[in-house]
Chains A and B, each alone.
Chain A
Amino acid sequence: MRYFAQVRALLWKDLVSELRTKEMVSSMLIFSFLVTVVFSFAFEPDSDTIKQVFPGIIWAAFIFTGILGLNRSFINEKGNDCIMGLMSAAVDKGVIFLGKMTGNFIFMTVMEAITLPVLFVLFDYRMKGSPILLIIVVVLGTLGFAAIGTFLSALSVNTSNSEVLLPIILFPLITPLLIAAVKATAVILAGGEFAEWSNWLTILLAYDIIFTVIPWFLVDYVLEV
C-alpha cells in the first residue's frame, strides 16, 4: 500500500508543480498547435491525400510534442539535487518510474484532448468509425510512449546533451508502437471492421505491457549512482 501511496505523492507533486508553472503543458500545446497549423497549410483539407496522411499527421503531432514533455520530466528533479532527496527518502526507484510515467501520460493526454479536435476542425475531417475506438487507440499509444519515454528520459537526464540524446534513442524503440498506432487509427477513421483493427490494437496492448514492465525492472540500474 505504501508503494502506491508514494507513487500518488510523486504524481501529486508533479501535477501541483506543473499547475503552478505551466511550463510543460503550455510549451507542449504551443508546439502541437504549430505542428497542426504547418500540416494544415501543407495539405489541402478536401483532397484525397488527406485521407491517407491524416492518421500520420495525428501521431506526428503527438509524438513530437510528447518529446518536449519527456525532456522536462527528469530535468525538474535535477534542480537542487531533488533526485538525491528521493533516494535518501528510501523511495523504490520503481516508484519514481511509475510516478513520472503517470505524470507524463496525464500531461500528454491533456495536450491530445485539445489537439485532436483542432486537427479534425482544421482538416475538416469526418470520421466514419467509432470515436470510442479512436480514444482507445490514442490512450494505448500514449501509454506505451509515456512508458518507454520516461525510462529513456531517466537514462539520458545525466548526460550533457539529454535533449538531443532522448529523441535519438527513443525513435527506433517506438517504431513498432508508432506503426501500430497509425495503422489502427487509419482503419478506425475509415470505419474498418473488427478484423482489420484488432491485430493492431493487440500489438499496442502488448507493447504497453512489455515496455511498462521491463523499464520498471530496469530503472534500478538506470537511476543508480
Chain B
Amino acid sequence: MLKAENITKKIGNTTILHGIDLNIAGGEFITVFGPNGAGKSTLLKILSMLMKPSSGNLTINGVNALKDTARVRGSVGVISHRTFLYDNLTAEENLEFYGRMYGIDNLRDRVTEVLSEVGLELAFNDPVRIFSRGMQQRLAIARAILHRPEILFLDEPYTGLDQQAVEILNSVLARLSIKDRTVFMITHNFEQGLDLSDRILIINKGRLAFTEKAKGFTPDKLKKVYMEVLGGAVS
C-alpha cells in the first residue's frame, strides 16, 4: 500500500528526518507517538504528499508518489491541526467546494451522507466561523473522508475536541478500520491511540525509534516503553 524508503528532510542546516524506512500494509491502522519536535508531523506531511522530502522514495499503491503525485493524491485524506475550512462558507458549501475539487459524482448526496456521519446534518447551512472548535474538527473529518480515501492521515485529531466530537471521531475511525482503510495517526494520547491500532511507532529526534504490533499493549505498558525509548524524557 505505502512504502517509504530512506526519507530524509532537511530545512536549512537542520535535519528533521533521518532516513526513515516504513512499510504500511493495506487496511493497517498505525499510531505514531513521539515528543514535540520529533518530526512526526513532517513525516505525515511527506507521506501525505503535502511536503517533498529532501531525499528518499515514496510509493503508494505501486505509484511513485513523488513523481506522479497527482495520480495518487486522490487516494489520500488528511486531517491536521488546522481544519483547511473556509470560515465564510457554510458547512455544506465547504464540502461542496472540496467535492468539486475531487470531482465527486452525486456530490449533494455524498455531502448529506458525510454531514450526518459527523453529526452536523442540522448545522449544514451555518457558516463555519460560528462553529465551535469541536464542530470545526468534525467538519474537517467530513472533508477528509468526503472522497472515500484509501489512506487517512490524522495529525493529533483529538486536540481541542469535546467529548461528543471524540466519540464521533472514534466511530468514524472504527468504521474506516472495518472497511479495511489504511489509517496513519499521530497522537499524544496513549489510550485513544491504542484502541484501534494494529501497529505502534515511536519517533524520536527524526528517527524511527520503536515499531511493534499494538496487540498486547496496555496504555501503561506503552507509556513505560515510550519513556524507555525517549531515555526518560516526558513529552
Which A residues fall within an 8 A CB radius of B?
2, 5-6, 8-10, 12-13, 16-17, 20-21, 76, 79-82, 84-92, 224-225
- Which residues from A are CB-within-8-Å of B26? none
Query: Complex Cα distance A13/B103, Å?
Result: 15
Establish whether residues A9 and B97, one from each chain, have CB atoms under 8 Å apart when the complex forms.
yes
Interface residues of B in 83-103 (CB under 8 A from A): 83-89, 93, 97-98, 100-103
* B71 CB to nearest A CB, Å: 9
In the complex, per-residue mask of B37-53: 1 if CB is within 8 Å of any chain A CB, else 0: 00000000100111110
Are B97 and A13 in contact, CB atoms less than 8 angstroms apart? yes
Set A17, A80, A86, A90: member contacting B83, Cβ < 8 A: A80
9 A-B pairs with the lowest CB-CB distances in the bound complex, closest first = A85-B84, A81-B82, A90-B73, A9-B100, A89-B101, A17-B88, A88-B78, A90-B74, A20-B88
**Count of CB-CB pairs between chains A and B under 8 Å:** 78
A84: chain B residues within 8 A (beta carbon): 50, 78, 80, 82, 84
| Complex alpha-carbon distance, A84 and B79, angstroms | 11
Q: Please tell me which one of the listed residues B88, B98, B100, B127 contacts residue A85 in the complex, with CB atoms under 8 A apart.
A: B98
Q: Tell me, rounded to whole Å, the shortest Cβ–Cβ distance linking B113 to chain A.
A: 18
Q: Are A81 and B80 in contact (CB under 8 A)?
A: yes
Contact B48 A88 (CB under 8 A): yes
Could you pull out 10 A-B pairs where Cβ atoms are within 8 angstroms?
Answer: A10-B101, A12-B97, A13-B86, A80-B83, A81-B80, A84-B84, A88-B77, A89-B98, A90-B73, A90-B102
- Chain A residues lying within 8 Å of B48, measured Cβ to Cβ, are 88
Residues of B within 8 A of A21 (CB): 88
B76 part of interface (Cβ distance < 8 Å):
yes
B70 proximal to A (CB < 8 A): yes
Report which B residues bind A (CB closer than 8 A).
45, 48-52, 70, 73-74, 76-78, 80, 82-89, 93, 97-98, 100-103, 127, 143, 147
Q: Are A85 and B143 in contact (CB under 8 A)?
A: yes
Establish whether residues A81 and B84, one from each chain, have CB atoms under 8 Å apart when the complex forms.
yes
Q: How many angstroms from the CA of A92 to the CA of B85 in the assembled complex?
A: 19
- Least Cβ–Cβ distance between A71 and chain B, in angstroms: 18
CB contacts (< 8 Å) of B82 on chain A: these are 80-81, 84
Chain B binding surface, main DSSP class: loop
- Chain A proximity of B151: nearest CB distance (Å): 12
Whole-angstrom distance between the alpha carbons of A80 and B140 in the complex?
11
A17 (CB) vs chain B CBs: closest residue: B88
From A5, A21, A82, A85, name the one whose CB has the most chain B CB atoms within 10 angstroms. A85
**B86 near A90 (CB under 8 angstroms)?**
no
B5: shortest Cβ distance to chain A, in Å? 20
Q: A79-B87, A80-B84, A90-B73 in contact; A225/B50 too (CB < 8 A)?
A: yes
Residues on A with beta carbons closer than 8 Å to the beta carbon of B84: 80-82, 84-85, 88
CB closest residue in chain A, given B73: A90
**Which residues of chain A are within 8 angstroms of B49 by Cβ–Cβ distance?**
87-88
Whether A80 contacts B102 by the Cβ 8 Å rule is: no
Q: Name the B residues within 8 Å of A82 (CB-CB).
A: 84-86
CB distance from A77 to the nearest CB of B (A): 9
With a cutoff of 8 Å between Cβ atoms, the chain B residues found around residue A2 in the complex are 103
Judge whether A88 and B86 touch: CB under 8 Å.
Answer: no
Chain A residues positioned under 8 Å from B100 (CB to CB): 5-6, 8-9
Which A residues lie within 8 Å of B101 (CB)? 6, 9-10, 86, 89-91
A127 to chain B minimum Cβ distance, whole angstroms, is 39
Complex Cα spacing A152 to B24, Å? 40
Chain B residues with Cβ below 8 Å from A17 are 86, 88-89
- Docked CA distance A80–B87 (Å): 8
**In the complex the two chains form, what is the Cα distance from A85 to B77 in whole Å?**
10
| B136 → chain A closest CB, angstroms | 8
- CB pair B89 A90 closer than 8 Å: no
A90 to nearest B CB, angstroms? 4
